[in-house]
Structure 1
């Protein structure tokens, strides 16, 4: 679930999750949530969105995750035994089976954004921050308050810093950098490399399958953030992780000319760009049935709303149902989203969406 960034996030209910299919390839699939940190790998220095540096002299032992995406990263990195709490907890059945049991044991400190007082009083020595200083994300602690509580922060910069990115995002390099950075901070760098290798294997297969794809065969693609509301659509711009996902999948974000992560647009603008495909941007509702119902509601709106019912995508029934969280938030399963979108829009070239 960003400064509006994250418009619809505020109306989501505890549901910033990361995923569809579980990681099925490579060593990163380990079910062991414990991993010993290497003291020789420290100190480690990381930066926030403004470039201010934080130094870690040793691996943190009491970690709080801001949302399900960062929680999943920590679990898959092998640092799950050190996680003492999370915000935006994963919906039921959304974590991959190999880490679901460990994830269910993590205390929920906030159904959405963790309340300031609870985060500062958690006893954490690390807060993995997916959101940064995003508008609409509630009252967050100041830098001084974090320091006073003894909490250092590691940012998932590809999401938290998207609004200030310096150029279009056209791949998952930023997400992979986040995984590597968190791996260094937690002393699990080797596991991080395995996760990145798994992602590269998946996206590489798609890249190979689409290698001969001409530019004019890239269909126009609109990410419809249903949870942000239907009165005024919220477009995904070229600074967002989703732009990289869509590009890697062989599609063309119809709002790729927007130099921002998100921007409110009008339905007239959407109609003028007449996408070939529309992703129904729905956040996990906590159960398969409720999430499926939300997809149905989003599609029904597009089919019945006068401004959208005659769009090419709507007339052709070209809808993609992949969770918002897996598309717009840095996570270990963004690569799975690339495969799913590619298989939907290029079924003749990409056969396997698993």
Structure 2
């Protein structure tokens, strides 16, 4: 699993030397790389891949990687994507450019199409795409990527999430991804601006609610409606959503489970009896369609015998913020922190 963990000057190829990195080392290494190439990135185990120059033809696995590149000003280097963003799902200033990117796969890009794309870099948002469906067939091996002349990297904040040794309580891994991706694409200045903006946003929230005692923080359940209602899928303490919820001044109702996601029973949700429920629906591409999806998720909770008695349901404590900006790493994670906090602490957060 190659993750964008650290960017810095280094020698070519991949090192067998593994396991020496840390989050602090990653941030420090990324800062060193601001001057230019060569730039190295490491995987979740510390193995290194080096870029002698910025890639010229990039393929992204999904809309998250594409959005980051657009925000960095490297969108003109993207020659294709999988899981393309629906029209209107990205901010207006990015949407038009995103719609011009060639769609190599409506879900996971087929192996043959990816290897024959002509890309020199493939950015995976997740360590494994198998759980995302789409009948993808076999993914390319690292040897096949190398033979095709494609460097293959993953985003650390998602690829390494399940293997973290402790809960994630801030957005530093996301910011490290942005810093490293900026170094790899020659857009370090833009990356610094994006990271600084995220820190300002989260810092303002922390100034307002960060001192709230743990016992006074409301419990919060992320309801992944689109993942299915028969057996809820919850976010655990290694997932970026846990950091978003924590920074917003809430307590993740399932913050006691280690890992990124976990399937539980509705009896487990009932036992938690959360104060607030986020209606985590996926972006439908327009305000009216999104409202309809939020309404549908809320109605399901109100009508279902197992959930209609939950405290949050009875009190109407629903948060209408989409799934992607909460559970998938990106610049908008910081905005989600602010929006959740504004709902939970009215009048305290601007």
Normalising to structure 2: TM-score of the pair? 0.87
Q: Which moved more, 1:115-124 or 1:279-288?
A: 279-288
Whether the aligned pair in 2 keeps the contact of 1:91 and 1:287 (CA below 8 Å) is no
Q: How does 1:236-315 map to 2 (within 5 A)?
A: 236-315=235-314
Whether the aligned pair in 1 keeps the contact of 2:125 and 2:158 (CA below 8 Å) is yes
| In 2: Cα distance, 1:181 partner to 1:158 partner | 12
Q: Which moved more, 1:241-250 or 1:113-122?
A: 113-122
| In 2: Cα distance, 1:134 partner to 1:296 partner | 29
Match of 1:50 among 45, 51, 54: 45
Kindly state the Cα deviation for residue 216 of structure 1 after the two structures are TM-superposed: 1.8
What's 1:177 paired with? 176
What's 2:13 paired with? none
Distance 1:349 1:39, change over 3 A: closer
Distance 1:211 1:291, change over 3 A: closer
Whether the aligned pair in 2 keeps the contact of 1:120 and 1:149 (CA below 8 Å) is yes
| In 1: Cα distance, 2:271 partner to 2:34 partner | 56
Q: What SS does the corresponding residue of 1:279 show, helix, strand or coil?
A: strand
What's 1:71 paired with? 66
Q: Does 1:337 align with 2:336?
A: yes
Which runs of at least 4 in structure 1 moved beyond 6 Å after TM superposition? none
Kindly state the Cα deviation for residue 299 of structure 1 after the two structures are TM-superposed: 0.7
Kindly state the Cα deviation for residue 55 of structure 1 after the two structures are TM-superposed: 1.0
TM-align CA RMSD: 1.5
Normalising to structure 1: TM-score of the pair? 0.86
Kindly state the Cα deviation for residue 117 of structure 1 after the two structures are TM-superposed: 1.4
Distance 1:42 1:323, change over 3 A: same
Kindly state the Cα deviation for residue 252 of structure 1 after the two structures are TM-superposed: 0.3
| In 2: Cα distance, 1:134 partner to 1:90 partner | 17
Residue segments in structure 1 that go unaligned for 5+ positions in a row: 1-37
Equivalences, count: 314
Q: How does 1:1-354 map to 2 (within 5 A)?
A: 41-137=36-132, 138=136, 139-350=138-349, 352=350
Q: What SS does the corresponding residue of 1:74 show, helix, strand or coil?
A: helix
Kindly state the Cα deviation for residue 97 of structure 1 after the two structures are TM-superposed: 2.3
Kindly state the Cα deviation for residue 168 of structure 1 after the two structures are TM-superposed: 0.3
Kindly state the Cα deviation for residue 212 of structure 1 after the two structures are TM-superposed: 3.4
Q: What SS does the corresponding residue of 1:238 show, helix, strand or coil?
A: coil
Greater relative contact order, per chain length (Cα 8 Å cut-off, separation 6+): 1
Whether the aligned pair in 2 keeps the contact of 1:218 and 1:251 (CA below 8 Å) is yes
| In 2: Cα distance, 1:126 partner to 1:288 partner | 34
| In 2: Cα distance, 1:115 partner to 1:41 partner | 34
Kindly state the Cα deviation for residue 279 of structure 1 after the two structures are TM-superposed: 0.6
| In 2: Cα distance, 1:159 partner to 1:92 partner | 24
| In 2: Cα distance, 1:135 partner to 1:162 partner | 16
Kindly state the Cα deviation for residue 100 of structure 1 after the two structures are TM-superposed: 2.4
Kindly state the Cα deviation for residue 272 of structure 1 after the two structures are TM-superposed: 0.5
Q: What SS does the corresponding residue of 2:130 show, helix, strand or coil?
A: coil
The one-character-per-residue Cα deviations of 1:3-53 (angstroms, maximum 9, x if unpaired) are xxxxxxxxxxxxxxxxxxxxxxxxxxxxxxxxxxx9961111112233322
| In 2: Cα distance, 1:109 partner to 1:332 partner | 24
